[in-house]
Amino acid sequence: MNKELDVLTRTLWGEARGEPTKGVIAVAWTIKNRANKPCWWGNSIESVCLKKYQFSCWNSNDPNYPFLSGKKPIPTKDYVRLQESAVAVIDGHELDPTYGATHYYAKSMRNPPVWTKGAKMTTVIGNHIFYKDVP
């Protein structure tokens, strides 16, 4: 299996597994948008996903980390569903529903992250709020 696809699928499991397909696609596009716009956050889907502190599911103290690191198995049904979305985004079979977002945060957060100040909100999909032009 392609490592980039596996890392994206695992990131989607950690970040968006509870979302409907449109929400999963949106998170995947946010990652792809970052990879397509190389910056401090990385220059490929894999490097963007694994950039320290960018996707909390990859933090070693996050409860999702044992699944993402392979210490615990991700249920096959979940993995296959998320991988299908990942492939659709990587291959360009799904349009970007985030309008170019490079960042998002969960609506459940009490306060918006500091980085939202000066950024442009592009859309809300599922439980995430998406942004671009983050300073």
Q: For 80-95, how does the pLDDT look when each residue is reduced to its tens digit (9 = 90+)? A: 999 999 999 999 999 9
Q: Is residue 116 part of a domain?
A: no
**What is the structure's pLDDT at 135?**
86
pTM (2 d.p.): 0.95
**What is the structure's pLDDT at 35?**
97
Q: Which domain holds residue 46?
A: 3-99
**What is the structure's pLDDT at 1?**
60
Q: For 96-129, how does the pLDDT look when each residue is reduced to its tens digit (9 = 90+)? A: 999 999 999 999 999 999 999 999 999 999 999 9
Q: Is residue 53 part of a domain?
A: yes
Instruction: Please give the C-alpha separations between residue 72 and each of 27, 44, 84, 121, in angstroms, as whole numbers.
Output: 23, 26, 21, 35
Q: What is the CATH number for 20?
A: 1.10.10
Q: Give bridge partners of residue 39 from the DSSP assignment.
A: 42
- Report the alpha-carbon distance of residue 21 to residue 27 in Å, rounded: 10
Q: Is residue 58 part of a domain?
A: yes
How confident is the model over 40-50, as a mean pLDDT?
96
Q: Which amino acid is at 36?
A: N
Q: How high does pLDDT run on average in the chain?
A: 96
CB distance 104 to 34 below 8 Å:
no
Q: Is residue 77 part of a domain?
A: yes
CB distance 67 to 73 below 8 Å:
yes
Number of domains composing the chain: 1
